[in-house]
Chain A
Amino acid sequence: MLFNSLKYLLFLPSVYVVYYFVGERVRWCVLLAASLLFYAALNIPYLPIVLSLVALTTYSFGIWLDRAESHRSKRTLLWGGVTANVLILVCMKYLPFLSSNLNTVSAWFSVCNFSPAIFPTLVSIGVSYYVFQAISYLIDIYLEIEKPELHFGYFALYLSFFPKLLQGPIERSSDLIPQLKNRYEFNYDNMRFGLLLFTWGFFKKVVIADRLGFYADTVYNDVHAYTGLSLLFGTYAYAFQIYMDFSGYTDMALGSARLFNINLTQNFNSPYLATSVADFWRRWHISFSRWILDYIFKPLQMRWRDSKNWGTAAALIIAFLISGLWHGASWGFVIWGGLHGLYMACSAIWKPYQKRLYKALRVEKTPYLKSWQIFITFNLVSLAWVFFRANSLDDALYVVLNLIHRPVSNRIIDMLIGTGINQYNLMVLSISLVLILLVHFQSGKVRFTNCPTWFRWGVYFLLTLWVILFQAEGAASFLYLRF
């Protein structure tokens, strides 16, 4: 069930009404049943079984870990629980990739007749998200940061809570479980903010992201037909499509959860205004980047601390390669992660010299430097998106090698129209993007809830009308759903 489907628009209020009217003691049962129904509605029978398996395994290992006396048995149990989760993820997501690469390698060397089995590709929607949450739960118990949850129902709900089940945010048990246990009382502000956030996310997805997708898809599904600026704009269109798509989804998830008085982690903070790639990762998919930072990067960095910046650089590259692989079993994602790791590793080594250079040039804290850094960071991130979006490695290399090329036409508008986007779409996009920018720059200065009633209701009405009138044709799936 997708957030932008009619089914979900009926499902969410129905769940809320049942949740509101039942007694406090069984409210968690309503949310758990709704979450399982939501997952089962994908019509992939093995997915709820995988979810139950992860929940049961992690719940049991969590309790055993807490009860273990010696450091050695705690360590063994941690590795047992983490390995079980990783194995489930590998079976669901990576076996076809591993077997096809093993086949290729064995064919290269042809020293033996080894031919691994070919595994079918399984649909693994949501699995990467709840497996990561399960791993963080076990590590936090091992580090004695958290106590295990003894109530299996609340623990299963922590993993499966439907607003964040398919695409995150990746929540820590310490943040979510206490909120799930709080007594529910109707809160008008939460209801209003939740519905507004949901509609705002809907607007970002169906009006902007899907419309940008027309252009990005046209270019990326036939890259060899384009050169130069068309490829560059196709790449920029994708950069904004994936941002609007994913942040729109996150707004809808946060909005849905807010109806039940639950605050999920905000995943985005104007990522394309980042002044460095490290800053980008503090603003993009925040719950995921925190996970990678806390559970992969930091342990490696600490282990290799005697090598100083070189140890940090190596830890960054490994952490981001894993981050790439998490997104999917393809070399495009691995290169995307590797590029981000490389950017950050170079930055770690270059940083002390960079500070001295800026001091010598007397450009520290100047607006010019900041604008330049934003421009460079956005283009570095966009370059990495090429490998993330391209249908194959050949396509990605073609795009990178032909990005800077003499344009066939000097008129940008002709190029855009030539690749499928029409003037109507361009107009809707421009007005919508102006609206996004207005909200962004006013949000820190004006408190929406303090505005007069006529203004607030005018905004609700116009936003809903804008979504109904200008949603892009054909409901597209969310881009991050496949990860």
Chain B
Amino acid sequence: MTTMEQLNVIFKTVFDDDDIMITPEMTANDVDGWDSLSHINLITTVEARFSIRFSQKELLTQKNVGDLIRDIESKLAAGN
């Protein structure tokens, strides 16, 4: 599975919605229930699933799903 596909599974679980299909341009405004509370659940779930830890700067500059995927992939590449 690609990073995007794995992330899509996490989105479905966190937002309790099996119909979510994420895209790189997707932002919090596009997903019902993506507020600051569910965002924390999303980030901690991503960190646990991929065994990574985002820096404060990365978390504060992620503006959409594309940014999140970019940071996940760069962390995974740095770990390998």
A interface residues (Cβ-Cβ under 8 A, vs B): 143-145, 278, 293, 297-299, 301-303, 305-306, 308-309, 311-312, 348, 351
**Chain A residues with CB below 8 A from B43, complex form:** 302, 305
Contact sample, A vs B, 21 pairs, CB 8 Å cutoff? A143-B60, A145-B61, A298-B36, A299-B56, A301-B36, A302-B43, A302-B56, A302-B59, A302-B60, A303-B56, A305-B40, A305-B43, A306-B44, A308-B40, A308-B44, A309-B37, A309-B40, A311-B40, A312-B36, A348-B37, A351-B37
B interface residues (Cβ-Cβ under 8 A, vs A): 35-37, 40-41, 43-44, 56-57, 59-61
Look across to chain B and name the residue whose beta carbon is closest to the beta carbon of A142.
Answer: B57
**Chain A residues with CB below 8 A from B44, complex form:** 305-306, 308
Contacts A143-B60, A143-B61, A301-B36 known; 20 new A-B pairs at CB < 8 A: A143-B57, A145-B61, A298-B59, A299-B56, A299-B60, A302-B40, A302-B59, A305-B40, A305-B43, A306-B44, A308-B40, A308-B41, A308-B44, A309-B37, A309-B40, A311-B40, A312-B36, A312-B37, A312-B40, A348-B37
State in angstroms the CA–CA spacing of A351 and B37 once bound together. 9
**Chain B residues with CB below 8 A from A309, complex form:** 37, 40
**Chain B residues with CB below 8 A from A278, complex form:** 35
State in angstroms the CA–CA spacing of A299 and B35 once bound together. 15
State in angstroms the CA–CA spacing of A305 and B44 once bound together. 7
> Of B35, B40, B41, B61, which is in contact with the most chain A CB atoms at under 10 Å from its CB?
B40
Q: How far is the CB of B46 from chain A (nearest CB, A)?
A: 11
State in angstroms the CA–CA spacing of A144 and B36 once bound together. 22
State in angstroms the CA–CA spacing of A144 and B55 once bound together. 14
Whether B61 lies near A144 (C-beta < 8 A) is: yes
State in angstroms the CA–CA spacing of A305 and B57 once bound together. 14
State in angstroms the CA–CA spacing of A145 and B57 once bound together. 11
Look across to chain A and name the residue whose beta carbon is closest to the beta carbon of B59.
Answer: A302
Whether B40 lies near A301 (C-beta < 8 A) is: yes
State in angstroms the CA–CA spacing of A302 and B46 once bound together. 14
State in angstroms the CA–CA spacing of A145 and B40 once bound together. 22
Q: How far is the CB of B73 from chain A (nearest CB, A)?
A: 19
Top 5 A-B pairs ranked by shortest CB distance?
A: A302-B59, A305-B40, A143-B61, A305-B44, A348-B37
Look across to chain A and name the residue whose beta carbon is closest to the beta carbon of B61.
Answer: A143
> Of B41, B44, B60, which is in contact with the most chain A CB atoms at under 10 Å from its CB?
B60
**With A305-B43, A305-B44 in contact, is A297–B36 under 8 Å at CB?**
yes
**Chain B residues with CB below 8 A from A298, complex form:** 36, 59-60
Look across to chain B and name the residue whose beta carbon is closest to the beta carbon of A352.
Answer: B37
State in angstroms the CA–CA spacing of A301 and B41 once bound together. 11
State in angstroms the CA–CA spacing of A92 and B36 once bound together. 34
**Chain A residues with CB below 8 A from B36, complex form:** 293, 297-298, 301, 312
Q: How far is the CB of A259 from chain B (nearest CB, A)?
A: 31
Look across to chain B and name the residue whose beta carbon is closest to the beta carbon of A294.
Answer: B60
**Chain B residues with CB below 8 A from A311, complex form:** 40
State in angstroms the CA–CA spacing of A293 and B35 once bound together. 12
State in angstroms the CA–CA spacing of A305 and B41 once bound together. 8
Q: How far is the CB of B47 from chain A (nearest CB, A)?
A: 8
Q: How far is the CB of A448 from chain B (nearest CB, A)?
A: 27
State in angstroms the CA–CA spacing of A302 and B35 once bound together. 14
State in angstroms the CA–CA spacing of A297 and B44 once bound together. 17
**Chain B residues with CB below 8 A from A348, complex form:** 37
**Chain A residues with CB below 8 A from B41, complex form:** 308
Look across to chain A and name the residue whose beta carbon is closest to the beta carbon of B40.
Answer: A305
State in angstroms the CA–CA spacing of A91 and B70 once bound together. 43
State in angstroms the CA–CA spacing of A312 and B35 once bound together. 12
**Chain B residues with CB below 8 A from A299, complex form:** 56, 60
Look across to chain A and name the residue whose beta carbon is closest to the beta carbon of B41.
Answer: A308
Q: How far is the CB of B42 from chain A (nearest CB, A)?
A: 10
**Chain B residues with CB below 8 A from A143, complex form:** 57, 60-61
> Of A144, A301, A303, which is in contact with the most chain B CB atoms at under 10 Å from its CB?
A301
State in angstroms the CA–CA spacing of A64 and B36 once bound together. 33
**Chain B residues with CB below 8 A from A302, complex form:** 40, 43, 56, 59-60
State in angstroms the CA–CA spacing of A35 and B59 once bound together. 37
**Chain A residues with CB below 8 A from B37, complex form:** 309, 312, 348, 351
State in angstroms the CA–CA spacing of A303 and B53 once bound together. 11
State in angstroms the CA–CA spacing of A454 and B44 once bound together. 60
**Chain A residues with CB below 8 A from B40, complex form:** 301-302, 305, 308-309, 311-312
**Chain B residues with CB below 8 A from A293, complex form:** 36
Look across to chain A and name the residue whose beta carbon is closest to the beta carbon of B38.
Answer: A351
State in angstroms the CA–CA spacing of A303 and B55 once bound together. 9
**Chain B residues with CB below 8 A from A297, complex form:** 36
State in angstroms the CA–CA spacing of A293 and B36 once bound together. 10
